Amino acid sequence: MDTRQIRYFLAVVEHGGFGRAATALNVAQPTMSQSVKALERDLGTALFHRASHGVTLSAAGRAFLGPARVLIRDVAMAGEAAGGRPEQHSLEIVASAPLGAHPGARLVGGFLRERPGVSVTLDRDTDEALLARVRDGVSALGLVHLPAARLGLCEVELGAHDLVLVFPPPCGTRVPPPAAGVEAEAVRLADLAGVELIGVPRGSASRLLVESALRAAGVRTRVVVESGQRDLITDLVIAGVGAAFMPDVAAHEAAARGAVVMRVAPALRLPYGLVHRPGELSGTARAFIDHALRGR
C-alpha cells in the first residue's frame, strides 16, 4: 500500500462517497475507486460495503480507520521534521454535547479563518466513545469536560461552564423555595434531598462533580435514569422523568421547551478542554490547540 491509497480511503470516509471525495481532491472518480480497490487487495479485505445508494464502512474499514489516520498524521509530521513544507491536511475533532456547539463551533470557525486550506471534521459522540476515539487515533483531538477518564491522554484546559438544575415543565419535583440570603433564581443543594435525577454515566466529569457536591451538602438523591446522550437527557426532563444537572449553555433549549431552569448554590463549575494522545502532534493539531488557548 502507499499513502495515496490511504488518503483516498480517508477522503471517501470524510466526504461520504467516492464521487464527493474525488471532487474534493480534484481527481477522476475511476482513479480513486481503482486506488481504493488496490488497497483492499493489499489488505485482503473489503473496507466498504458498496450499494446503489452509496458506501458504508465495513467492520474491517472501521478497524482500519484509526490506524490510517495515525499513519497519515505521522507521515505529515515526519515531513515537517525533515524541513519539508507543512501540509494543509485535515483535522479530526470529536466533541461531547454541548461542547460541539459551545465552544466547538466558534473555535473551528476562527481556526478556519486563520487557515482556510485546512479541512476540519467536527463530530459528536458520548464521553466514553469520544475518549476511545482519541485514544485509538480515529480523532486527533477531543473536546470534553474535564477531568477525563484516565486513559493516558493529555489534557489542555480551555475554560469552564456553570452547571444549572433543570426541572420538568411544570416542576414535578418538590423543591423548597430558596431560603433567605439565597438568590431568588437559585436552589440550594442542601434542599435537594429525595429529588429524582437523570444522570450521565458514572465516572464522567459532571457526574463526579455533582456527586461530590451533594455529599458535601449531606444530601441523598436518586438517579432514576442514566444516559450518555446529553441531547436525550433534555427529552427525558421535558417528559417529566426527573430533574437534571446541565451545563448552562445546554439549558437554553430546555427552557425554550418549558423546563424550569435554576442556578444552584453553591455554584458548580465544570471545566472543559481538549484531549489528545501523548507524543508529537501534527502541525495542524498543534496550531488548533494554540488557537483555542488564545481564544480562552
**Residue spans per domain, the chain:** 1-87, 160-271
Record the pTM: 0.76
Residue with cell 458498496: 50
Q: How many CB atoms lie within 10 A of CB 194?
A: 11
Residues of the chain with pLDDT under 50: 172-184
DSSP 137: T
Cell output for 72: 497519515
Question: What is the pLDDT, as a whole number, of residue 231?
Answer: 81
* Cα separation, 189 vs 216, whole angstroms: 9
DSSP state of 60: H
Express each pLDDT in 238-274 by its tens digit. Answer: 999 999 999 999 888 888 888 889 999 999 999 999 9
| Confidence at residue 182, expressed as pLDDT on a 0 to 100 scale | 40
Q: What is the pLDDT of residue 177?
A: 44
- Cβ burial, residue 30 (10 Å; 0-12/13-18/19+): exposed
Which residue spans within the chain are E strands per DSSP?
48-51, 54-57, 90-95, 119-124, 141-145, 154-167, 186-188, 196-199, 222-226, 244-247, 260-265, 269-276
Write down the architecture of domain 160-271 according to CATH. 3-Layer(aba) Sandwich (3.40)
Same CATH topology for 1-87 and 160-271?
no
The CATH number of 1-87 is 1.10.10.10
Place of cell 455529599: 215
For residue 167, what pLDDT is reported?
92
Give pLDDT, residue 85: 54
